[in-house]
Amino acid sequence: MTGDILTLNAGSSSIKFAVFAPEHPDKTARITGKIAGIGGAPVFTAQDRTGTALPAGPLDALDPSSSHENLVALLLEWLEQQLAGQPLGIVGHRVVHGGRTFGQPVRITDAILDELETLVPLAPLHQPHNLSAIHAVANWRPDLTQIACFDTGFHRTQHRLATLFALPRALSDEGVIRYGFHGLSYDYMARVLPEQIGAKADGRVIVAHLGNGASMCAMQNRKSVATSMGFTALDGLMMGRRCGALDPGVVLYLLQSKGMDAAQIETLLYKNSGLLGVSGVSNNMKVLEDSDAPTAREAIDLYAYRAASTLAGLVPALGGLDALVFTAGIGENSSCIRRAICDRLQWLGIKIDAGANDVNAIKISTETSAVDVLVLPTNEEAVIADACRTLMNAPSAQTPQPHESPDS
């Protein structure tokens, strides 16, 4: 394979990107960066392999009304200049929902794009942006190979029972099941865990991906056996703006007694709930930690309480716990949240070393803790880049795999 690999992760309020050399294995990107604050005041930042900031050039002053597709187009122009004539070989995208059809990374065609479009209602906050990034690249360079890597893919190893809702069978048969998300992050953890904890990595592990979106994954033999998100990325943990698990009766109440329509409820559950809704202050954990508002304190307490409860609910899928990993923005940086969650889990034999926790050390459990507790940075981009290499070098791997639950 020739040409660099570009990874694109187009979320609701940010577009993250990385450029990797085609050689394998190379986890370190040549260039990384993002456009953050989309929808408000978008800001572009980028750095090279050494961490040195790269000039934003024409991306210095971004129009707040720019669409995701336009921003990706500007980013591609900027990249072309940075790469100074060196060709890109392939673009790999994070795509949140692969539905029942797509488990493995797949080369994007018009037919596949049409199918991914049908999954927009299942991930209304993410899927449209993922797809608009694909369109922007196709408009820029129609011949460039693009692949989609799915956040749902990693969970395809789950037992059928872990994927079922207790709904009428006809609904499960048509795909109303638990899919799970953040799969690229969990895949990365599954790859790097042996370097940290050796054979224990194949034991009973829970990874807590705590970012703006948040979920947990129970793994055994480094494969997903259960996860907290479900049919959509709304389920499970309390998040920055999303409510997490909710009595479905609340949705009926909003419809029937409050007279809200579907669009209003979608906005309430996806954008105005979670840390933001409970605190009334911010969706940003760091801002809440620095706030004196009692509602900010309560939002943090609820976040930790619900995270500990969710984690405890995943333990039966494993029959115990050997290791717990915290990752993503909050998991990697908030010692206060990690401590609050772990304090509620002492009955599992979890013991935290306060000093190690305070400095975000890789291992934050004590020597006598029954469970290894780790803080590891995630790298979804490296997983996408690896998928690009694999697909470029093994064309037969491009066929989409139909949904099959191995234990069904």
Please state the φ and ψ torsions of residue 222, each to the nearest 5 degrees: 60, 25
Q: Which of 183, 240, 244, 400 binds ligand ADP (CB under 6 A)?
A: 240
The region that residue 90 occupies, defined by phi over 0 for left and psi between -120 and 50 for alpha, beta otherwise, is: beta
Examine the residue annotation and report whether 151 is marked as an active-site residue of this protein: yes
DSSP class of 102: -
Q: Is 320 part of any known ligand binding site?
A: no
Q: Give the whole-angstrom CA distance, residue 33 versus residue 16.
A: 6
Q: Is 210 part of any known ligand binding site?
A: yes
- By CB under 6 A, residue 123 contacts ligand ADP: no
How many CB atoms within 10 Å of residue 341?
27
DSSP class of 55: P
- By CB under 6 A, residue 32 contacts ligand ADP: no
Choose among 148, 145, 150, 141: nearest CA to 112.
148
Q: Which of 272, 284, 291, 390 binds ligand ADP (CB under 6 A)?
A: 284
- By CB under 6 A, residue 329 contacts ligand ADP: yes
Q: How far is the CB of 13 from ligand ADP (least distance, A)?
A: 7
- By CB under 6 A, residue 37 contacts ligand ADP: no
- By CB under 6 A, residue 213 contacts ligand ADP: yes
Q: How far is the CB of 285 from ligand ADP (least distance, A)?
A: 4
Look up residue 260 and give its two tokens.
Answer: 């809200």
- By CB under 6 A, residue 333 contacts ligand ADP: yes
Long-range CB contacts for residues 401-405, cutoff 8 Å, separation at least 24: 401/102, 401/103, 401/104, 402/100, 402/101, 403/99, 403/100, 403/101, 403/103, 403/156, 404/156, 405/156, 405/158, 405/159, 405/160, 405/163
Which CB atom, from 214 or from 387, has the smaller least distance to ligand ADP?
214
Please state the φ and ψ torsions of residue 75, each to the nearest 5 degrees: -60, -40
The region that residue 228 occupies, defined by phi over 0 for left and psi between -120 and 50 for alpha, beta otherwise, is: alpha
- By CB under 6 A, residue 24 contacts ligand ADP: no
Which CB atom, from 177 or from 341, has the smaller least distance to ligand ADP?
341
Chain center to CA of 130: 13
By three-state DSSP, how is residue 66 classified? Answer: coil
- By CB under 6 A, residue 228 contacts ligand ADP: no
Which CB atom, from 14 or from 152, has the smaller least distance to ligand ADP?
14
Which CB atom, from 187 or from 322, has the smaller least distance to ligand ADP?
187
Q: Which of 211, 230, 244, 274 binds ligand ADP (CB under 6 A)?
A: 211
Contact 254, 227 (CB under 8 A): no
Which of 4, 63, 151, 261 is labelled catalytic? 151
Q: Which of 5, 149, 285, 387 binds ligand ADP (CB under 6 A)?
A: 285
- By CB under 6 A, residue 125 contacts ligand ADP: no
Among the listed ranges 37-45, 109-117, 265-273, 324-332, the one in contact with ligand ADP (CB under 6 A) is 324-332
- Residue list for the binding site for substrate: 94
- Which residues have a catalytic role annotated? 151
Query: Site residues (CB under 6 A) for ligand ADP?
Result: 11, 14, 211-213, 240, 284-286, 289, 328-330, 333-334
